[in-house]
Amino acid sequence: MRLDSIEQFALDRDALDPLAGFRDRFLVPRDGDGREWAYFCGNSLGLQPRAVRDAIAHELRCWSELAVEGHFKGDLPWMHYHEFVRDDMALVAGALPSEVVAMNSLTANLHFLMVSFYRPTKQRPAILIEAGAFPSDRYAVESQIRFHGFDPSTDLIELEADEPGGTISDAAIAAAIAQHGERLALVLMPGVQYRTGQLFDIAAITAQAQGVGAIAGFDLAHAFANAPLRLHDWGVDFAAWCHYKYGNSGPGAVAGAFVHERHAGAEFPRFAGWWGSDKDTRFRMGPHFQPTVGAEGWQLSNPPILALAPLRVSLQLFREAGMERLREKSVALTGWLAEQVESRLDDVLDIVTPREPSRRGAQLSLRVRDGRDAGRSLFDWLTARGVIGDWREPDVIRISPAPLYNRYSDVLRFLDATAAWRDARRPA
Ligand SMILES: *Cc1c(COP(=O)(O)O)cnc(C)c1O
């Protein structure tokens, strides 16, 4: 294909995109020349929806005009505020509204959920995670294992990659769960692995883990609002995620948690706080904790309203756009990126992320063939040209076209800039 016909293709696809209008609902940063960035970093921090500013301003106004009465008055009384984000969060997670709650931060939620769901015994003390897990997750599980008096050197099982580039086959996961089955208390896997971009088969892992008597928990930091999720139908025991990545809810946004309905009424060890206590009796201020049935029973504190306001309006966009349409565009857009990298940039870039659309979300992890220094050089070149991905040590560039706001013409800018870098380094 000649370059101009590629450009025509990108423009045509953008013109035909039924979701194209959503880009205008976001604030896209610009470079010094006033040109919008080609922003591929929604896997790290999603762009700001335009509606966020007003949503926060609204709560500031309620605070100034109603003060303490804002808990009960106004169109969005703070007392119930976490419920105003619940249904959209449930939709994105493929959960029942009673199975999800917005609270805390991601790592905190992993800990609080492990308090309930990681209950090691002498016979069954182990946690299985993927090797090279996000450091916070590894710190969390390691410290949980120690907290219970067990030994991470034997009881933290880290599943090594078995595929070229560092991804893990379904067979290797199944084999590890079968091999360690009797010792496994918890399998805690990502939905999408942050470095490789691999999307795991959450339904299969859940069934395998539960099949050996273990709990199936997931960190969905990179999967929430990116990959199709059916947490309820898949029978996942618990999950946690953040909302500042594909969820576009702002830096340090309030996180999410999922607890399957079948655990709703059960007795759990948990670290309790008043906001997890039954709504009907909470304000009697009695001494006994009576958990709210469902995920809300894991709440500790009254929620940060100014931080939940962005979440409320950001998640509404997913309902409006529709998760199926978003996934359809995502598969096509990232598929086009992959196809073009393979046909135009094969001499420079290796794709780390699996090639099957069912095994990836929006993100492609790319490794520059000439090694780490060349990788840094390309990354800096792209950044200087307003093409914003991110760099993950030791040698990966992540490019994540987010279907809510990215266009084919953004992807084309990445392709062209990378080709220009190659040509500048290796004059013909
Ligand atoms: C982004 C991310 C985190 C970040 O944790 P916070 O508690 O939100 O700071 C943790 N784990 C994974 C897998 C992530 O991708």
CB distance 238 to ligand 1 below 6 Å: no
Ligand 1 geometric centre to CA of 239 (Å) = 13
Q: In the chain, what are the helix, strand and coil shares in percent, each to the nearest 5? A: 50, 15, 35
Enter the pTM of the model.
0.96
**Residue 313: how many CB atoms within 10 A of its CB?**
23
What residue spans in the chain does CATH classification 3.40.640.10 cover? 56-320
Cα distances (angstroms) measured from residue 3 to each of 10, 15, 35, 140, 414: 11, 18, 21, 48, 13
- Give the Cβ contact number of residue 356 at 10 Å: 8
Q: What is the pLDDT of residue 165?
A: 87
Which residue has the CA at smallest separation from atom 13 of ligand 1?
A: 134
Helix (H) / strand (E) element for 49: namely strand 48-49
Cα diameter, the chain: 78
pLDDT score of 423: 94
Contact 351, 366 (CB under 8 A): yes
**Rounded distance, CA 130 to CA 146, Å?**
19
The residue whose CA is least distant from atom 15 of ligand 1 is: 221
Task: Tell me the best of 109, 136, 142 to mutate to test the pocket of ligand 1, counting ligand atoms within 8 Å of each CB and taking the most.
Answer: 136
Q: Is the CB of 190 under 6 A from ligand 1?
A: yes
Q: Crossing angle of helices 202-211/170-180, nearest 10°?
A: 20
Residue 316 in contact with ligand 1 by CB distance below 6 A: no
* Cα 375 to ligand 1 centroid, rounded to whole Å: 24
DSSP letters, 6-33, are HHHHHHHHHHH-TTGGGGGGEE--B-TT
Which helix (H) or strand (E) segment holds residue 94: the answer is none
Q: What was the pLDDT predicted at 427?
A: 65
Residue limits of CATH 3.90.1150.10 in the chain:
3-36+322-425
Question: Could you identify the atom of ligand 1 that is nearest to the CA of residue 242?
Answer: 8
Atom of ligand 1 nearest to the CA of 137: 11
CA of 136 to the centre of ligand 1 (A): 6
Domain 3-36+322-425 carries which CATH code? 3.90.1150.10
- Averaged over successive runs of 10 residues, the pLDDT of the chain (428 residues) comes to 80 97 98 94 98 98 97 93 95 98 98 98 98 97 98 98 95 98 98 97 98 98 98 98 98 98 90 90 82 94 96 98 98 98 96 97 96 94 97 93 98 97 84
* Architecture (CATH level 2) of domain 56-320: 3-Layer(aba) Sandwich (3.40)
pLDDT for the residue numbered 2? 54
Supply φ then ψ for residue 230, to 5 degrees.
-135, 60
* H-state helical runs in 118-200: 135-147, 152-155, 170-180
The rounded Å distance from CA 110 to ligand 1 centre is 10
Determine the pLDDT at residue 258.
98
How many A from CA of 222 to the centre of ligand 1? 9
Give the residue ranges of the annotated binding site for pyridoxal 5'-phosphate.
Answer: 106-107, 134-137, 219, 222, 244, 274, 302
- Residue closest by Cα to atom 2 of ligand 1: 221
Amino acid in position 377: S
Q: State which of 242, 244, 249 you would mutate to test the pocket of ligand 1, scoring each by most atoms of that ligand within 8 A of its C-beta.
A: 242
Q: How far apart are CA 291 and CA 276, in angstroms?
A: 6
Residue 108 CA, ligand 1 centroid: distance in Å: 10
Distance 221 CA to ligand 1 centre (A): 6
**With a 6 A CB cut-off, is 137 part of the ligand 1 pocket?**
yes
